[in-house]
Amino acid sequence: MNLAPLLSFWEKGVGDEGELEEVGCTPGIDYRAIAPVVDSCVFPMTAVVSKTDKANQILQGALQEFLARGYAGTSMDRVAATAGVSKPTVYNYFQDKEGLFCVLVQKIAQERFQLKFNADTFTGPPETTLRTILGLMLETVAQDDEYQDFVRLVIGESGRFPELARTFLTYITKPGLELVQGYLDQHPELRLLDNGCATHVILGTVVYAMLTQYIMHGEDLIVLSRDRLIDTLVMLLMAHYRSATEG
């Protein structure tokens, strides 16, 4: 499947036949039927995240409370006070703390990743696109102290509340895996042994760098050049393609 037109269709919300052709969709594919699948497996329930300013106000208050007090120490009363709304207003939008946390994770996925990883990100040749993907992932975390704190929160609370970690994996990690593997599947010329495993290698390397360099404050202990990491990983991924074209 050509992933880029599908992402473009999902982003723009186009629906009639002419509009589908304008964004480069393949004739004969019912993208209208596929769109709900993209919504659910790439960045689910984003409409919930952005439905009102009041909901976003509550989510921002919740983020502040979770980061300051942890999951267990955060109450809906505190969220209401920090957000500057009444407790009944919070419950009008979110049934309970777990549901609030779930939507917050989706909001973070939307703001940190959805807006950066769009159709244009996946339309270039493999070497360029892989560099772009890796660079954006690392840059997103390196420049975002709040996101780093949120990841620390999820890791720290996952022992007592494993559902928090599973929510994070569902809405942030898994969609990233699906997008990258979708791109690799479009490029058999890379001659990778297993696109699924290659995807885990790519994102696993990125996650290792994120953890050691930023989440665990190890930039001075484990020196790792971001550019050299990207160069090395792209070289390894492109090795079979280069040998075939140069031979």
pLDDT digits (tens, 9 = 90+) for 66-81: 999 999 999 999 999 9
Q: How far is CA 244 from the centre of its chain?
A: 33
Q: SS3 for 176? A: helix
**Averaged pLDDT for residues 207-220:** 95
Contacts of 61 (CB under 8 A, 6+ apart): 79, 80, 81, 82, 83, 84, 85
What pLDDT score was predicted for residue 43? 40
Say what the pTM is: 0.75
| Sign of the dihedral through C-alpha 147, 153, 156, 158 | negative
Contacts for 122-128 with beta carbons within 8 Å, 24 or more apart?
122/3, 122/4, 122/7, 122/179, 122/182, 122/183, 123/4, 126/187, 126/189, 126/190, 126/237, 126/238, 126/241, 127/234, 127/238
What pLDDT score was predicted for residue 51? 54
What pLDDT score was predicted for residue 244? 62
Q: How far is CA 192 from the centre of its chain?
A: 24
The fraction of the chain above a pLDDT of 90, given in percent, is: 65
pLDDT digits (tens, 9 = 90+) for 129-150: 999 999 999 998 999 999 999 9
Q: pLDDT class for 247, splitting at 50, 70, 90?
A: low
- Every domain of the chain and the residues it spans: 116-247
**Mean of the per-residue pLDDT values for the chain?**
82
Give yes or no for a contact between 237 and 206, defined as CB atoms under 8 angstroms apart: no
What pLDDT score was predicted for residue 113? 83
